[in-house]
């Protein structure tokens, strides 16, 4: 598993933990597409050589670390053994990287070291054990969600928030004992760190991969799942001033009730957003509970439920519907 490094101290800690295992450092940048190619190559190398420790450093965010190795461009890969440079490859050259790492690892088959034992002070150990369980989903980061203090923390907050995963956080910059102790407690030398039900999930890269393959959501506790769904639905019903949840789309309704309410709204010459509930069972079932309305279609104005087809039809007939149409929804 590749470890993200942000500071010289984290680099030193990771190199020390590597012992006599070879360490491959990849200097990269988020905007650099060729770096993704190198990441894929490294992933395959680790599968072949489990003794290979891999570190990834965002060269622009960790400038002081990049300066140590005189990094002038990305991607750049450096292989170390016992903190001594063995070779370096500047630029994109997957065949050369594969060949050199393979030759080196076959020649230097150092044993994989076991993680260091937890040697924390019992009082601190107990405090950390309580902290990682202080919320169903707990993030240890630099800064706070509204004001992250590093790029990796900012990215993991964005991932959790955009996927509507409710979490609490702890700013490790405010407590050095927690910052250093958690590295030993979890055998994970970098931050951010995400915990679910007190168990370490990992850092940014792990969380990003688990969001991409959707495996993270199955680990989210029921309490946090409910909050996540409510946040998602609340955002959806306010996606447009007038929002219709229907079967199908306005151009291709999939049931008679949806077809009829679309016709009514179009006859009123109003603009409205829509969501096809047939494409998302979570939304389809969740919105019934959130609104207390068991059927579809459902019409919302400014995030408030108006009702289904019969309610809208009655309001149009008695003239009250025109009074609640938001100005943004009126066709000019």
- Which positions are annotated as active-site residues? 32, 35
Residue in 86, 70, 69, 75 with CA at minimum distance from that of residue 21:
86
Spatial separation of the C-alpha atoms in residues 136 and 178, rounded to whole Å: 19
Spatial separation of the C-alpha atoms in residues 282 and 233, rounded to whole Å: 10
Provide φ and ψ at 248, rounded to 5°. 95, -155
DSSP 277: G
Residue in 127, 138, 142 with CA at minimum distance from that of residue 185:
127
In the chain, the N- to C-terminal Cα span, in Å, equals 56
Q: What are all long-range contacts of 88-92, with beta carbons under 8 Å and residues at least 24 apart?
A: 92/34, 92/37, 92/38
For 286, counting Cβ atoms within 10 Å of its Cβ (0-12 exposed, 13-18 middle, 19+ buried), the class is: middle
Are 23 and 14 in contact by the 8 Å Cβ rule? The answer is: yes
Torsion of CA 103, 56, 158, 194, to 10 degrees: 90
> What does 53-122 look like in DSSP terms, one character per residue?
EEEEEETTT-HHHHHHTT--SSSEEEEEETTEEEEEEES--HHHHHHHHHHHHHH--PPPPPPPP----H
């Amino acid at each position: 598993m590749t470890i993200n490094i942000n500071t010289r101290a984290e680099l030193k800690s990771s190199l020390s933990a590597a012992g006599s295992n070879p360490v491959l450092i990849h200097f990269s940048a988020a905007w650099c597409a060729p770096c993704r190619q190198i990441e894929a190559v490294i992933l395959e190398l680790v599968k072949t050589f489990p003794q290979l420790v891999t570190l990834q450093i965002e060269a622009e965010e960790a400038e002081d670390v990049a300066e140590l190795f005189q990094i002038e461009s990305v991607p750049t890969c450096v292989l170390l053994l016992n903190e001594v440079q063995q070779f370096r490859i500047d630029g994109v050259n997957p065949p050369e990287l594969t060949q050199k790492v393979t030759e080196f690892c076959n020649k230097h088959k150092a044993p994989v070291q076991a993680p260091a034992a937890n040697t924390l002070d019992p009082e601190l150990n107990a405090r950390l054990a309580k902290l990682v369980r202080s919320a169903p989903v707990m993030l240890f980061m630099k800064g706070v969600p509204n004001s992250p203090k590093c790029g990796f923390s900012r990215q993991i907050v964005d991932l959790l928030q955009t996927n509507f995963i409710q979490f609490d956080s702890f700013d490790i910059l405010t407590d050095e004992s927690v910052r250093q102790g958690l590295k030993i407690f979890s055998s994970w030398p970098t931050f951010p760190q995400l915990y679910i039900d007190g168990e370490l999930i990992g850092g940014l890269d792990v969380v990003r991969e688990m969001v991409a393959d959707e495996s993270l959501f199955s680990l989210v506790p029921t309490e946090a799942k409910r909050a996540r769904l409510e946040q998602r639905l609340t955002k959806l019903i306010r996606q447009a001033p007038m929002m219709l949840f229907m079967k199908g789309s306005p151009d291709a309704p999939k049931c008679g009730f949806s077809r009829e309410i679309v016709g009514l709204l179009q006859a009123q010459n109003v603009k409205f957003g829509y969501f096809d509930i047939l494409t998302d069972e979570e939304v389809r079932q969740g919105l019934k509970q959130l609104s207390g309305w068991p059927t579809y279609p459902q019409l919302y104005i400014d995030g408030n439920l108006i009702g289904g087809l019969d309610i809208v039809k009655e309001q149009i007939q008695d003239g009250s519907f025109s009074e609640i149409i938001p100005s943004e929804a009126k066709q000019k």
